[in-house]
Amino acid sequence: MWNNLKKIAWNWRGVVFTVPSATGLIIAIRLIGWLQPLEWTTLDLFFRLRPLEPRDERIVIVGMEEKDIQKLKQWPISDRDLARLITKIKEQKPRVIGLDIYRDIPVEPGHEELLEVFKTTPNLIGIEKVIGDQFYSTINPPPVLEKLGQVSSSDIILDGDGVLRRAFLFPMAPGKENLPSLGLAVALKYLEKDNTVPVASDDGGWMKLKKTVFYPFNSNDGGYRNADAGGYQILLNYRGSAQSFQKISFTDVLEGHFDPNLMRDRIILVGSQATSIKDYFSTPHSQSLSITPALTFGVEIQANLASQILSTVLNNRPLIKVLPDYLEDLWIALWVVIPAIWAWKWRKTKNLLKLGVAIVIGTSVTIVLLIGISYIAFLNSWWLPLAPTLLALGCSSVLVTNFVYISQLQEYNLYLEHEVESRIQDLRKTYRELRAAQDKILVKEKLAALGTLVAGVSHELKNPLHFIQNFASLSVNLANELRETIRDRDRCCEVEVFENIHEISSNLSENLVEIKDHSKRANAIVQTMLPHPDGVASDRTPTDINALLDSTIKLVLYSQQGKYTNFPINLEKNYDRSIPQIEIFDRELSRSLINILDNAYYAVYQKAQLIDSNFRPLILVETENLKESVKIVIQDNGAGIPEDIIGKIFRSFFYYQATKRRYGIGSINAHDLIVIKIAARSN
């Protein structure tokens, strides 16, 4: 099984290497927090791309606009005007009023009137700021509302890029852990009429309204890394842009310019909507391509929070959900696998353009699917890690493409190594065949030379053998005649008979001498022939160089004349008679001289065939006594060998072919016998 796993891992080595590498790299970068801005950006983009939800008719915003400030000529609004505003709203019988305006100190005139309104409006909820930061310190609530328990928190929390994506349910400041945010407070007050009150969940004591449990935000939820998760926070699920709620200005309410049913049984949020007051924030819907970003006022933030709670409890509108960390990592790895497998399956494509197009198409399709699935999931309130997955997917495509390229190079290298090894084997085979062919050529040439030698030897042996035969026959007759003469005893003493016997005896002796001489001659010829077939090494023997040359010349001429009839050749010999007998390897030297003379004979013959009949073929043989050595010169007036070829005639496997004549074999044989064999033995 282990071997099978190793085989599978090797076959899919590109995927096995790419997926963990790309996934691990992106997850590591994500844990550091470097991808947090990208993940926030994709979340904001999905908020803007999501279809706008219907306006929540349960909430009405009464806003202090710039025109109201100009008309009232005062900010903050006086206690009297604020008392008149709350009284007008209370007359419309709303379910709850949320006052998103700080009133910790009196703003005369009309402070006593405002206190009376606070005391007589049980569904009014004021605000205070319980968390101080570098920009604002804490702000106390209206004292009367604090005594009545009708106070909430206005605190908000911004992300590192200044965008508001989360909201407090309970800021949980020291000493005020049970103080809700304004949005939660008005939502709970609204739900009291439906007998819906918050209870603790069974899986951790979190706030539960009906069947909905509001799980708190954790520091690593979604695209966040090491975020401030203090208090009881949730992710805001904005309904849309600033036009998600009905709005009416302060002066319109004070002057009664509104539908009488506009506020009945609704949540009324009173707050600032004037840019000069600077109670506004950036939200996901603020990040648009327009020149002036659409800002969201604080009262609208509280309206979105209240609407989110009511819609979740009453309309089953889901909260924004995220996957656990390990499932997010698995989600990233899953999308990394897809392009890796796709690209690796194309790895055997030899056309690089086709390979690149296939990988790009596969990666592009995967990206489109990932974005589509992530967007559909967001429409169902799931925030999936899109940005890190896209980066991991791109990283996977780059890595696997490089790995495919490297794999192709490795396979090509293996192919080249195999081809080189195959060519080496072919060369070795060719070399062996050439050696065998050379050996065959050498054997053939040696056999041809042997045939030539045998022909010359046969011709040369005819004369001594003929003489031996004749003298032997005469000697037999003389011996018979002598025997008859001796047998006749009576006549043996006659002078004539004695002289006759003496003459016969003399003739017989002469015949025997001739037989002996011609036998030696035949034996010498045979001895010259013996080394050719068997290559048996001879010993040094005292030899007459001139006589050896004569014997060799006769062998060659007889053999060549038998091969090329009617071709007379002029042979000139210029021997130095002062050369004494010297000890040499006569057989090897004789064989070498035969090869050289054979080439010379053929050279003049070939030239005679190419020119007119006036050509006089000539072979010159000379010897010279150099005291310490003997010089042998063999020249011919044949066609000769080109100068650029002369230096190569002693090389193995080299043959120069001119007019169908291959020069080289005889030269190589002579060179091997004289330079290699004789010289080696002499040393």
**The predicted structure's pLDDT at residue 656:** 53
- DSSP codes of every residue in 271-334: EE--GGGT-EEB-TTT--SSSS---EEHHHHHHHHHHHHHHHHHH-PPPPEE--HHHHHHHHHH
Q: List pLDDT tens digits, range 245-299.
A: 999 999 999 999 999 899 999 999 999 998 888 888 999 988 665 545 678 899 9
Model confidence at 603: pLDDT above 80:
yes
Q: For the chain, what is the mean pLDDT? A: 82
Asked if pLDDT for residue 479 goes beyond 90, the answer is no
What is the pLDDT averaged over residues 589-610? 82
In degrees rounded to 5, what are phi and psi of residue 621?
A: -120, 125
* Residue keyed to tokens 């801005």: 37
Lowest-confidence region among 14-28, 69-83, 287-301: 287-301
Average pLDDT over residues 572-590: 85
Mean of pLDDT values over 367-379: 94
Secondary-structure percent of the chain, ordered helix, strand, coil, rounded to 5: 55, 15, 30
- Residue 440 binned pLDDT confidence (cut-offs 50, 70, 90): confident
pLDDT of residue 240: 80
| Rounded average pLDDT over 482-500 | 63
Instruction: Judge if pTM exceeds 0.75.
Output: no
Which residue from 398, 366, 408, 341 is spatially nearest to 22, judged by alpha carbons? Answer: 398
Q: Is a pLDDT exceeding 60 seen at residue 493?
A: no
pLDDT of residue 497: 66
Most confident of 300-309, 344-353, 392-401: 300-309
pLDDT for 490 beyond 70: no
**Most confident listed range (21-25, 441-445, 449-453, 466-470):** 21-25
- In this structure, which topology does domain 532-683 adopt according to CATH? Heat Shock Protein 90 (3.30.565)
pLDDT-wise least confident of 11-25, 57-71, 192-206, 590-604: 11-25
Q: For residue 554, which of 520, 518, 528 has the smallest C-alpha distance?
A: 528
Q: What's the pLDDT score for residue 436?
A: 87
**Least confident among 16-30, 423-437, 447-461:** 447-461
Q: What local confidence, expressed as pLDDT, does residue 533 receive?
A: 43
**Spatial CA neighbour of 366 closest among 395, 326, 402:** 395
Confidence of residue 593 (pLDDT cuts 50, 70, 90): confident
As a whole number, mean pLDDT of residues 453-469 equals 62
The CA–CA distances, whole Å, from 562 to 50, 380, 550, 556, 582 equal 113, 113, 18, 10, 33
Instruction: Please say if the pLDDT value at position 647 is more than 90.
Output: no
Region 435-440: mean pLDDT is 82
| pLDDT tens, position by position, 203-228 | 888 999 999 999 999 999 999 999 99
Please give the pLDDT value at position 669: 57
Name which residue leads in pLDDT, 180 or 134. 180
Q: What is the pLDDT confidence band of residue 612, given thresholds at 50, 70 and 90?
A: low
Residue range 446-450: mean pLDDT, rounded = 63
Which segments of 208-290 does DSSP mark as H helices, in order? 250-254
Q: What is the pLDDT, as a whole number, of residue 21? A: 84
In percent, the amount of the chain with pLDDT more than 70 equals: 77
- Write the pLDDT tens digit of every residue in 162-194: 999 999 999 999 988 899 999 999 999 999 998
**Half-sphere exposure of 511 toward its Cβ, with a 13 Å CA cutoff?**
19
How many angstroms separate the CA atoms of 569 and 388, rounded?
101
Q: What pLDDT does residue 660 have? A: 45
**Structure confidence at residue 52 (pLDDT):** 84
Better-predicted residue by pLDDT, 671 or 600 = 600
Whole-angstrom Cα distance, residue 485 to residue 470? Answer: 22
Looking at the chain, the domain(s) classified CATH 3.30.565.10 span 532-683
User: Is the predicted pLDDT of residue 386 greater than 90, yes or no?
Assistant: yes
Considering only residues 325 and 530, tell me which one the structure prediction assigns the higher pLDDT: 325
pLDDT of 556 reads 79
Per-residue pLDDT at 535:
46
pLDDT at 370: 93
Closest CA to 284 of 386, 166, 169: 166
Give the mean pLDDT of 655-680: 54
Compute the C-alpha angle 66/67/71, nearest 5°: 120
Please state the rounded mean pLDDT for residues 493-503. 68
Q: Report whether pLDDT(682) > 60.
A: no
Mean pLDDT (whole number) for 327-331: 93
Greater pLDDT, 149 or 342:
149
pLDDT reading at 528 higher than 50: yes
pLDDT bucket at 534, cuts 50 / 70 / 90? very low
| Mean of pLDDT values over 139-153 | 94
Is the distance from CB of 314 to CB of 330 less than 8 angstroms?
A: no
Q: d(Cα 174, Cα 202) in Å, to the nearest integer? A: 25
Give the model's pLDDT for residue 315: 93
CB atoms within 10 A of CB 477: 14
The position carrying tokens 């003389």 is 478
CA 28 to chain centre: 26
Tokens for 42? Answer: 């994709």
Write out the DSSP string of 609-651. HHS-TT---EEEEEEEE-SSSEEEEEEE-S----HHHHTTTTS
Which residues share a beta bridge with 657?
662
Statement: residue 91 has pLDDT above 90: yes
The dihedral through the CA atoms of 282, 283, 285, 287 has a sign that is positive
Distances (CA, A) of 21 to 13, 359, 389, 477: 12, 19, 13, 116
CB distance 445 to 669 below 8 Å:
yes
Q: Decide if pLDDT at 409 tops 50.
A: yes
Average pLDDT, stretch 618-635?
90
Non-local (6+) Cβ contacts of 465 within 8 A are 518, 522
Share of the chain above pLDDT 90, in %: 41
pLDDT band at 661 (very low <50, low <70, confident <90, very high): very low
Q: Assess whether the previous peptide bond of 642 is cis (omega < 30° from 0).
A: no
- The C-alpha atoms of residue 673 and residue 592 are separated, in whole angstroms, by 6
pLDDT of residue 234: 96
Whether the per-residue pLDDT at 69 is higher than 70: the answer is yes
Give the CB-side neighbour count of residue 549, counting CA atoms within 13 A: 24
Residue 455 has pLDDT above 60, yes or no: no
Q: Give the pLDDT score at 607.
A: 82
pLDDT of residue 659: 45
